[in-house]
Structure 1
Amino acid sequence: MVSLIKRYPVVAATLLVLLGTMIVLGMGLGLPARGIASAYALGIAVKLGWNMVTDITRGHWGIDVLAFSAILATVLVGEYIAALIICLMVSGGAALEDYAQVRATKSLSSLLERVPVWAHRVDETGTLHDVQVAELAVGDTVMVRPGEILPVDGVLLDAEGSFDESSLTGESMPVNKVVGQTLLSGAVNGARAINLRASATAANSQYSRIVELVRDAAASRAPVVRLADRYAIPFTALSYAIAGCAWWASGDPVRFAEVLVVATPCPLLIAAPVAFLAGMSRGARTGLIVKDGGTLERLASVQSVAFDKTGTLTQGVPRLRSIQPVEGFEEDRLLSLVAAAEQYSSHVLAASIVAAANARALPIAPVRDASEVATHGVSALVGEFRVAVGKPAWIRTQVDDVETYELSSGESSVYVAVDGHFAGVLVLADELRSDAAATLGQLRAMGINEVFMLTGDQQATADHIATELGLSQVRAECLPEDKVNFVRGLKRRPVMMVGDGVNDAPVLAAAEVGVAMGARGSTAATQSADVVIMTERLSQAANAVRIGKDTLRIARQSIWVGIVLSVLLMLVAAGGVLPAIIGALTQELVDLITIFNALRALKGTRRFDVLPRPRTNEQNVTA
C-alpha cells in the first residue's frame, strides 16, 4: 500500500481530499467542504493547464484542454464533488495507464530483469572463480548450476544437459542437448550442473542481443498515439458545441459543465499506446522482437513480401540427402569412414557429414596423417584405411574407377576413395525449412499474394526451391544492390523483406519492414531490420504480420470506443438527465472499458503465435 501511494501520490491525495470533503459535508459544514474541494480542484486545474500550455507552445495540441475546462466549469457552478471526481479520473487514468503498460510490457521487462551479472569461471586447475559476466572471454570454461541462467553463448562440455529456452524461443518444453552442441545465453539450466566453453563474450551473446532489441522496443512511441492526438481538435470542438448548445437550450450553465464532465478524453489518450505496447509484448513472448510501434502499423498494411533463399527459406546448412556406395560398401560403413576423415576439415560440408554420422550413432575413429588440400578435399589414415574425400575432379586424380553421379538442382556431392579405389558418393542439399510452405500459406491467407524469392544462387537452383514451395516469382543471381533495386521498384507497398545474412542488410534497410532471422543471422542484418526473429521459425514472419494487423485493429477500435461512448454520454448529459457526479463516475467506467479492450492485443490467435518446433538438424538428416 505504501509503495502504491508513493507511486501514485496524486491519486492518493485526491482520494484523501474527496474523503475529507464527504466527512465535512456530512457534519453539515457545506461551505468549508466546498472551499476545500474547490481549492484542491483548482490546484489540479492549474497544474493541468500549465502542462497543456507547455504542450501547445511546442506545437502539440492535446485533448487535456477538455479535462481542464471540465474542472473549471464544475467548480464555477458549484459541482465541487464532480470536480473532485474529474481530478480522480485524470490522475486515476494516468495510474491505470501505468498499470496497463506494466502488464503489457511484462514479457519485455522480464528479459531485462533476468540479465545474468555473475558467472562461475573454471580455471586450468578446476578451481571455481565467481567473476562478472563481462569478464568472460571466448574459450573460458564456465560452470552453470541448476536453475541458473546461461551467461554467455557456448558449447556443452558435459555428456548431456536439459535447458529451458522459453524466454528465447517461446518453446515451453525443455530442450535436451548433448556434448558439443551449441548453448544460448538466456536459457535456464535444468536440474544438473553443467560446464560450457564460451563461444562469445557476454556483449556478443544471444541474450545481450535480445536485451538490446527489447530496450529499443520499450523506448519507442507508436505513431498511433499521434493518430489519437489528431482527433484532439475535432473532438474538442464537438464537445464544446454540444456543451454550448445544451447551455443555450436550457439556459442553465450547469448543463455546460455536465456535458464537459463526460467529454474528458482519458480513453483516447490511454488506449492506443497500451495496445501497441501489448502488441510488442505479445511478439516478445514468442521470440519475435519488434523494434518500435511504427513497425507494427506498417506490418498491418504489408502488400508484398520478399524472401532471401539461403538461410531464410532454406536451412542455410547442407544436410545429407543420400549415400550412394559402390558394391561391397554399406552406407553406414562409408559414412563412418568419411566422417572420420572430415572431422578435422574446415569445409562447409564437413560439419554436416559429421553431424549425420553422430545422428546415426556411428563410430568415428581417430585418424592419423590427415591433410587437407584447399578447395579440393581431405586425405586421412582412418584405422588401416587411406580415405580420400573431396570434389570429383580431385578424386579422379587419386583413383581411376570413378563413377559419375547425376545431381538434381540444389544438390552438392562429395566423392570418396578408399585405399585407392572409388567407394561412393555422398549427396547433400540445403533443405527447405520445415515451416517454409506453411509460412507462405499463412501470408496468402491474410491477403498477401505478392510473394517473391530473391537469391544470389544460380537460376536452376532457385527454380528448384521455388517449385517445391509453389512460388512463381523468382529473381536469381542477384547481387545485394540488385535486391535493393528490385524491392524499391515494387509497386504494391509496403514491402516486407525477410533475410538473414550480411548481404541482406542493405535490402532489409530499404524495405518498409525488414525482418531478420536473428537466431543464426548476422549482426548487420539484425541491426538493419525492424523485426528480429530470435528463433529458427520462419513462420514467425507471418506471425509478425498477424500481430501487426491485430494490434492496429484493436488500437483503432479502442480509440473509437472512447469517442463513441464519450459522444453518447455527452448527448445524454445535454438532455439534463445525467448529473455531473454520475457523469464523472460513468466516464471512469469508460476509461476501464477502453483500457481493457486495448489489452486484448496481448492475446493472439494460438494457431499463429504457437507453432510447431522446427525439426532439429539430426531429424533433418535422411539417408
Structure 2
Amino acid sequence: MKIVLRYPLVAGTLLVLLAVVALLAAGQEGIAQAAASIYALAVAAYLAIGMVRRLAGGQWGIDILAVTAIVATVLVGEYIASMIIVLMLAGGTALEDYAAGRAKHELTALLERVPQTAHRERNGTSAAGNHTAEAHTDGQHEDVAATDVDIGDILLVRPGEVVPLDGVLLSDSGTFDESSLTGESLPVERSAGEGLMSGSLNGEAAIRMRVTARMEDSQYSRIVALVKEAAESKAPMVRLADRYAVPFTALAYALGAVGWIISGSPARFAEVLVVATPCPLLIAAPVAFLGGMSRAARSGVIVKYAGVLEQLSRIKTVAFDKTGTLTYGRPALVAVRTAGTLSEDEVLGLAASAEQYSSHVLAASVMDAARSRGLPFGAATEATEFATHGVRARFDGQDVVVGKPAFVAEWASGVAETDLASGELAIYVGTGGEFVGSLVMSDPIRKETRRTLSELKALGVNRTVMLTGDALATARHIADEAGLTDVRAECLPPDKVEAVRSLPDRPVMMVGDGVNDAPVLAVADVGIAMGARGSTAAGESADVVIILDDLSKVASAVRIGQRTVQVALQSIWIGIGLSVALMVAAAAGYVPAIAGALTQELVDLATILNALRSLGPGRHGAVSTARAREGARRAPLPG
C-alpha cells in the first residue's frame, strides 16, 4: 500500500493496463482501445501542463518528446505502445528513486546512525549542573538525550554502541570501528587518555569516557551537518541534459518526419518518437553525481555540493598550507634557549601562559610541552592575538609577547634570531620590554606528502604551490622534502588570498586546516579543509572537508571527481547513442511501436546501471586504495 501511495501513476497505469488486457481477452477491442487512449491522453495532458509551467519559468525540458510520443501512438492506433510509454515514464520516477537511494546509501547511512541517547554516570552534578534524566536508570547511570550531555560528563558506552560525543577514553583500552568516519575497515585500538570520535562503534567491552565537546560541536555532528547539505545539493550535469534537449528533440522530430515521408505512413513517425523518450538524459547524470558523493563519503571525504565534483575533475593547480597540511601540525619542543636571567622553565611557562589565548596550531604544542613539565599557567587580565604574528597578554601588569621575531621586537628589545637546523622553527618570547628567550620546535613532513603530490601530477595537476606564514628557511626545508618548487613564505591571510587569485592555471584548489585558512579556502575554485583537527571556520568556508588526518585524501577527492564526471558523461552518451540508433532503425521500419517502447525501457536500465558505477573506485582507484592501505600498515606512526 505504501508503494501505491508513493507512486500512484505507476499503480494507476498497471491497473488500466490489466483492464485493457482483460477487455482484449473478452473480445472487446474497441472498448479496450478507447480506455487505453483516454487514459494515455489524460497523462499526456498532465505532463503537458507541467511542461508549459517550466517553459514559462525559462526552463527548457524534453518532456515534449514523451507527450508527442503518447499522442502520436494514440492517433495511429498503437494504444498498447502508448500505455507502455506511460508506464515507462511513471516507472522512470520509481527507478530514479531506487537509483538515487542506492547512490546515496553511504550518505544516508551516516544520518541514520546519529546517536540519540547517552548513559551518564550518576556522580552528583554534571558539568553544567543540569542532571535531568529520563525514566531509565540502573542506579549508577541514567539515560539522557545526547544533546543534554555537557563537557566533563562521564559516559558509559556499552558493547556495540555508537560513541555519542567526542571525548577521552578513561578505561585502560578499547577497540572501535571507525569505518563510518574514516573508511578504514579495520578496527582501531585506543588506550586511556586517547581521543574518541563520536560516531565510532564500540567493540566487545564496555568503556568509560569523559566528554570533551557538546553534541553540536562533536565530530560526528559536524559530519552529519555537512552530509545533509551534500545530500540536498543538485547535480550540475542536469544543465548538461538541458543543453542536449533542443538538438535531441530536433533530431527525433527530423528522423520521424523522414520515416513518415519515406514510408508514407504516420505510424512511422510515432514509432521513431517512442524510442526517443528522454529518461536516460534526465536520470543518468544526477545518479552518477550522487554515487560520486557517496563514494567520497565512504572514503572520508565529504563533498558539500554536487557541483564541486565537476570542479574537482578539472583541477590544474593545487595550493597547500604548510603546518597541519603538508606537515603533521603537531610540532614538538626541541629546546628552550634563554637570553637573560630567566630559566628554561620560566621562559616556557610565560610562553604557555600567553599561548593559551592563541588559536594558532603551535600554541597547543607549547602548552603541551609546559604541561609535560608540570608548569602552571597564569591568568591574563587582557590578551590579544595578532593573526599569523603572535600573541600579547598581560599578567600582573606586565606584558608577555610570544611569536615571530619581528613581532616580538616591536614590544621587546634585544631580540636575536636563534640558529636553527633544517626543519626547525623558533617561537620568540619577550616580557617586561626585554627579550628573554626562544622555543625551538620541529614539525615533520607527513609520510604521505610526496606520494600525494605524485598522484596529483598523474591526475593532470600541472602546478603545486606552498602558501605559508612561516619563515622562508623553514618553508623551503619542507618544500624540498615534499618536492615543491613554488614556495611563498611569510604570507598573511590577505597575501594567500591574492596569491590564489593570481595563479594562472585554473581551476585552483586550496588545501588548509586553520582559522587563518578560511578566507583563502573561500576564494579558491575548490577549497579543501583538513577537518580531523581543523577549525570550524575552515570547514565552513571549504567546499570539501576531509574528516581524516590523511593528506592522500586530497588526491582521492580529485580522482573521485574525475571518475564521477567520466561516468556521468559516459551514461549520457550511452543513452543518446542507443536512442539515436533505435530512432534510425525505427525510421527505417525495423522497430514496431510496442517493441520500441519495451526496448527503450532496457536503454533506461542500461544507462542507470552504468551511472551507478560511480559508486566504485574504478580500476586505477582500487589499485591506489590498496597501495595506500598497505603503506599505512607498514609506515610507523608520527612522533
TM-score interval, smaller chain: 0.7 to 0.9
TM score, norm. by length of structure 2: 0.83
Corresponding residue for 2:288? 275
> Aligned residues, how many?
563
- The match for 2:198 is 185
Q: Which amino acid aligns with 1:463?
A: R
Query: 2-side partners of 1:102 and 1:254: how far apart?
Result: 38
1:558 maps to which residue? 571
For the Cα contact (< 8 Å) 2:425–2:474, is it kept in 1? no
Q: How does 1:266-345 map to 2 (within 5 A)?
A: 266-319=279-332
Task: Select the residue among 586, 610, 623 that pairs with 1:607.
Answer: 623
Aligned with residue 445 of structure 2, among 425, 432, 442: 432
1:142 alignment partner in structure 2 = 155
Aligned to 2:29: 30
Q: 2: CA distance between counterparts of 1:222 and 1:608? A: 26
- In the alignment, what sits opposite 1:16? 15
| CA-CA distance at 1:281 after TM superposition | 0.4
Does structure 2 retain, via aligned residues, the 8 Å contact 1:93–1:266?
Answer: yes
Aligned-residue CA RMSD (Å): 3.2
Aligned to 2:99: 100
Contact 2:333 2:366 in 1 (8 A): no
Distance in 2 between residues matched to 1:616 and 1:230, nearest whole Å: 49
Secondary structure at 1:552's aligned position in 2?
A: helix
Asked if structure 1 preserves the Cα contact closer than 8 Å seen for 2:285 and 2:568, the reply is yes
Residue of structure 1 aligned with 2:140, choices 111, 127, 137: 127
Partner of 1:582: 595
| Unaligned residue ranges in structure 1 (runs of 5+) | 324-338, 358-363, 376-389, 392-404, 415-424
Q: Deviations over 1:334-388 (max 9, x none)?
A: xxxxx9xx99997644676699x9xxxxxx9xx7x9788999xxxxxxxxxxxxx
Equivalent position SS for 1:231: helix
Note the 1:401-412 alignment, pairs <5 A.
Answer: 407-411=420-424
In structure 2, how many angstroms separate the alpha carbons of the residues matched to 1:595 and 1:432?
Answer: 43
Which residue does the alignment assign to 1:72?
Answer: 71
1:143 Cα shift? 1.2
How far apart in 2 are the matches of 1:443 and 1:43? 54
Kindly tell me: are residues 554 and 309 of structure 1, through their superposed partners in 2, closer, same or farther at Cα, counting changes over 3 Å?
same
In the TM superposition, residue 494 of structure 1 has moved relative to its aligned partner by 0.4
Quote the offset at 1:617 in angstroms: 12
Aligned partner letter, 2:622:
R
* CA deviation after TM superposition for structure 1 residue 153, in Å: 0.6
Q: Judge conservation of contact 2:40–2:82 (CA < 8 Å) in 1.
A: yes
Q: Write the mapping of 1:506-521 to structure 2, written as runs, cut at 5 A.
A: 506-521=519-534
Deviates more, 1:346-355 or 1:602-611: 346-355
Aligned to 1:382: none
1:410-436 Cα deviation digits (max 9, x unpaired): 32589xxxxxxxxxx997510111211
* Residue matched to 1:248: 261
* Partner SS for 1:203: helix
Q: Which runs of structure 2 are paired with 1:155-194 in the superposition (5 Å)?
A: 155-194=168-207
- Which residue number in structure 1 is paired with residue 548 of structure 2? 535
1:51-106, Cα deviation, whole Å (9 max, x unpaired): 11111111111001100000000011110000010011111111111100000000
Asked if the contact 2:352/2:377 (under 8 Å) is kept, the reply is no
Contact 2:165-2:213 at 8 Å conserved across structures? yes
Alpha-carbon spacing, 1:609–1:92, altered in 2? closer, same or farther (3 Å): farther
Give the superposition deviation at 1:5. 2.9
In the alignment, the residues of structure 2 paired with residue 597 and residue 467 of structure 1 have an alpha-carbon distance, to the nearest angstrom, of 43
Q: Does 1:220 align with 2:233?
A: yes
Q: CA deviation at 1:18?
A: 1.6
Alignment equivalent of 1:505, drawn from 497, 518, 535: 518
Q: Where does residue 164 of structure 2 map in the other structure?
A: 151
1:177 Cα offset (Å): 0.8
Q: What CA distance in whole angstroms lies between the structure 2 residues aligned with 1:248 and 1:53?
A: 30
Which residue of 1 is the match for residue 38 of structure 2?
39
Where does residue 544 of structure 1 map in the other structure?
A: 557
Q: Partners in 2 of 1:199 and 1:616 — Cα distance?
A: 32
Q: Which secondary structure state, in structure 2, belongs to the residue aligned with residue 316 of structure 1? A: coil
1:536 counterpart SS class: coil
Q: Secondary structure at the match of 2:216?
A: coil
The aligned amino acid for 1:100 is A
Task: Letter of the 1:470 partner, please give it.
Answer: G
1:448-487 CA-to-partner distances (Å, cap 9, x unmatched) read 1210000000000000000101111100000000000000
Pairing partner for 2:637 from 590, 594, 619: 619
Comparing 609-618 and 501-510, the one that deviates more: 609-618
Flag the 1:348–1:265 CA change in 2: closer, same or farther, 3 A.
closer
Query: Which one is further off, 522-531 or 125-134?
Result: 125-134
One-letter identity of the residue aligned with 1:208: S
Rounded to whole Å, the distance in 2 between the matches of 1:615 and 1:564 is 46
Q: Deviations over 1:191-235 (max 9, x none)?
A: 111111111100010001000100110111122111111111111
Whether the aligned pair in 2 keeps the contact of 1:319 and 1:620 (CA below 8 Å) is: no
Q: 2:467·2:487 contact (CA, 8 Å) conserved in 1?
A: yes
Structure 2: distance between partners of 1:64 and 1:497: 41
| Contact 1:434 1:615 survives alignment (8 Å) | no
- Aligned AA (2:60): W
Counterpart Cα distance in 1 of 2:460 and 2:505: 12
1:5 counterpart residue number: 4
Tell me the amino acid that sits aligned with residue 3 of structure 2. Answer: L
Q: Which residue in the other structure is 2:212 paired with?
A: 199
Which shows bigger deviation, 605-614 or 280-289?
605-614
Please give the alpha-carbon distance, in whole angstroms, between the structure 2 residues aligned to 1:429 and 1:615. 25
Question: Structure 2: how far apart are the matches of 1:46 and 1:310?
Answer: 62
1:20 CA drift (Å): 2.1
Secondary structure of the residue that 2:215 maps to in structure 1? coil
Q: How high is the TM-score relative to the length of structure 1?
A: 0.85
Q: For residue 30 of structure 1, what is the amino acid of its counterpart?
A: E
What is the alpha-carbon distance in structure 1 between the residues aligned to residue 140 and residue 568 of structure 2?
A: 56
Q: Which residue of 2 aligns with 1:336?
A: none
Structure 2 unaligned blocks of 5 or more? 125-138, 337-347, 357-362, 381-389, 391-401, 404-417, 428-437
Which residue is equivalent to 1:397? none
Q: Residues 556 and 371 (structure 1 numbering): CA distance in 2 closer, same or farther, change over 3 Å?
A: closer
SS of the residue aligned with 2:143?
A: strand
- 1:260 maps onto 2:259 in alignment: no
Distance (whole Å) between structure 1 residues aligned to residue 204 and residue 493 of structure 2: 47
Residue 320 of structure 1: CA displacement?
A: 6.8
Q: CA 1:321 to 1:596, structure 2 compared with 1: closer, same or farther past 3 Å?
A: farther
Confirm or deny: 8 A CA contact 1:286 1:609 kept in the other structure.
no
Contact 1:161–1:176 (Cα < 8 Å) also in 2? yes
8 Å CA contact 1:434–1:614 kept in 2: the answer is no
2:623 is aligned with what amino acid?
R
Q: Distance in 2 between matches of 1:445 and 1:269?
A: 33
Check the 8 A contact 1:435/1:614 in 2, yes or no: no
Residues 183, 351 of structure 1: alpha-carbon distance in 2 compared, 3 angstrom cutoff: farther
2:395 paired residue number:
none
Task: Identify which of 448, 457, 461 aligns with 1:444.
Answer: 457
Q: SS of the counterpart of 1:282? A: helix
Give the Å deviation of 1:286: 1.0
1:479 is aligned with what amino acid?
Answer: L
Q: Distance in 2 between matches of 1:77 and 1:40?
A: 16
- Name the aligned partner's letter for residue 20 of structure 2: T
Task: Give distance in 1, aligned partners of 2:366 and 2:229.
Answer: 39
Q: In the aligned structure 1, how far is the partner of 2:216 from the partner of 2:420?
A: 43
- Contact 1:536 / 1:614 at 8 angstroms: preserved in 2? no
